[in-house]
Structure 1
Amino acid sequence: MPYSEQTITSKRPWAENIFTFTTTRPEGFEFKNGEFVTLGLRPEGKLIPRAYSIVSTNDDDQLEFLSIAVPDGPLTSHLAQVDTGSSIWINTKSTGSLTVNHVQPGRHLYMLATGTGLAPFMSLIRSSEAFEQFERVILIHSVRHTPALAYRDELEARHGDEFLYVPTVTREDFPNTARGADLFRSGQLTEQLDLPPVDPKQDRVMLCGNPQMNRDMSEHLEQHGWTMTNYKGVGNFTVEQAFVHQN
């Protein structure tokens, strides 16, 4: 697929190794909220590509991404250093398994994210589709340290009856110090939120985070009567594994 040369228009640090950046949008580029694209830099002439979920919505004029900077990472170490106005190459083909079409409609939609796995959920929360298909959307975002809770102010401002935001921090004092997946599996999550227990017949789950969380949660759900969306059809949970642990 062709890459389009675009421009980095802004950067915002969240934590020492986590930052947001925005770019110009390729002309005619369309995507579904929750999808990802491949983008890259050419620090020595040769393109270094990686897949990134799009934080912005399809209605936005610019594209927004959330990145972790890995020391000596072939791409992210360069991306963390480039200035606004620099070129970036974006593939004009988007894909992914975290769109609203990847789960059946239902009662409550649970989004479990670790680290920068938050990115596709931001796109869904900023748009209306998920709220049109579900009575309530619940986002659980787990990080090790508080500064890594990217977009926290925006998400807390959205917190209400239709949208519930549950941040957890596992290595500092914080109201929730358990991993989000543990809260979900134990039933503590719904108890804290005063919601009915999760039910595969009514509720839906999206997973995006480190491979261990994705695996553990997928196994837990399948053992408890949930069906993953795959080539055979749309189930009641879906997982994105294409872009975790960027380097």
Structure 2
Amino acid sequence: MSIFDQESVLSVHHWTDNLFSFTATRNPSFCFRSGEFTRIGFKIDENPLLRARSLASAHYEDRLEFFSIKVPDAPLTSRLQHLKEGDEIIVSREATGTLVIDNLEDGRNLYLISTGTGLAPFLSVIKDPETYLRFENVVLLHGCRRVAELAYGEMIAEKLPSDELVGDFVRYQLIYYPTVTRDSFCNRGRITDLIESGKLFTEIELPELEPQHDRVMICGSPALVRDARELLAAKGFVEGDRGAPAQFVFEKEFAERNTLSSSRKRGLHEP
């Protein structure tokens, strides 16, 4: 039996010259938890070319969605960015990852800290009713350099509150806070700086982070992961993992690969 499913591309959306997303069919037998990733790619001369990608779709949706950067000379992304409707991809039948709420202890507020395409797993998390049953407030932070890079902003702020399944949860419990560093925008600054200065909490009207009540997930650039982990550790937060729930988690698979990639090419990475 093959360990991959062959799926067909349903749609492709290019957000910027460097960012795109696409949806594909989903084998009904493929199961995953919100926040997990799988491996996707192509068969090249009958050999699989695969890379890890977070699932941006909800675990109950009948399609798969992925959010990616474009890297012209990367083995997989150089091909993925040219996808069009009807093209075929292969998807691993296994999903895994640390960015699932089961890896966190119970708490009051859940902070989802992301930069760039690190938003992807949290798109799945915020569409899951279980997230809102576990936490009173869900704070989604998305940091980018440019306003144009704040992908999915309209979906999160305008469409998701009307969703038949999670709309009520979203309207009353989700706080969406996008921020940029290089353009004029209502929110400006690096996420960790906004946390350390206290500006974030003044604006979202919540108390500053503390390990007794708050839980955190992190996914994004190596700099974000490093700085956020240091910030949380200094505040007394304990890192969790599969089978050992605690107060914060980050996706180790991407963090390790992104660190290696950043050393080769500043500012771009292909998990």
TM-score w.r.t. structure 1 length? Answer: 0.95
Which residue does the alignment assign to 2:102?
101
Are the equivalent residues in 2 in contact too, given 1:214–1:241 (CA < 8 A)? no
Shift of 1:223: 1.7
Shift of 1:241: 3.3
CA distance in 1, matches of 2:241, 2:135: 21
Which residue does the alignment assign to 2:129?
128
Shift of 1:68: 0.6
Shift of 1:231: 5.7
CA distance in 2, matches of 1:121, 1:180: 16
CA distance in 2, matches of 1:156, 1:27: 30
CA distance in 1, matches of 2:253, 2:228: 16
Shift of 1:172: 0.9
Are the equivalent residues in 2 in contact too, given 1:112–1:181 (CA < 8 A)? no
Which residue does the alignment assign to 1:85?
86
**Count of residue correspondences:** 247
Which residue does the alignment assign to 2:207?
196
CA distance in 1, matches of 2:47, 2:183: 41
Are the equivalent residues in 1 in contact too, given 2:58–2:124 (CA < 8 A)? yes
Which residue does the alignment assign to 2:5?
4
Which residue does the alignment assign to 1:17?
18
CA distance in 2, matches of 1:55, 1:125: 10
Bigger share in helix: 2
**Structure 2 unaligned residues grouped into runs of 5+:** 162-169, 259-268
Which residue does the alignment assign to 1:175?
186
- For 1:14-53, list aligned pairs within 5 A: 14-43=15-44, 45-53=46-54
Q: After alignment, is 45-54 or 154-163 more displaced?
A: 154-163
| Letter of the 2:39 counterpart | T
Q: Residue 5 of structure 1 aligns to a residue in which SS?
A: strand
Are residues 44 and 178 of structure 1, via their aligned partners in 2, closer, same or farther at CA, if it must alter by over 3 Å? Answer: farther
Which residue does the alignment assign to 2:253?
242
**Structure 1 unaligned residues grouped into runs of 5+:** none
Q: Residue 161 of structure 1 aligns to a residue in which SS?
A: helix
Query: Which of 219, 224, 227 is 1:216 aligned to?
Result: 227
Query: Which of 221, 233, 238 is 1:227 aligned to?
Result: 238
Percent identity over paired residues: 38
Are the equivalent residues in 1 in contact too, given 2:179–2:188 (CA < 8 A)? yes
CA distance in 2, matches of 1:79, 1:43: 13
Are the equivalent residues in 2 in contact too, given 1:209–1:241 (CA < 8 A)? no
Q: Residue 4 of structure 1 aligns to a residue in which SS?
A: strand
| Letter of the 2:248 counterpart | F
TM-score w.r.t. structure 2 length? Answer: 0.87
Shift of 1:45: 4.7
Are the equivalent residues in 2 in contact too, given 1:145–1:170 (CA < 8 A)? yes
Which residue does the alignment assign to 2:146?
145
Shift of 1:218: 0.7
Shift of 1:232: 7.1
CA distance in 2, matches of 1:26, 1:116: 24
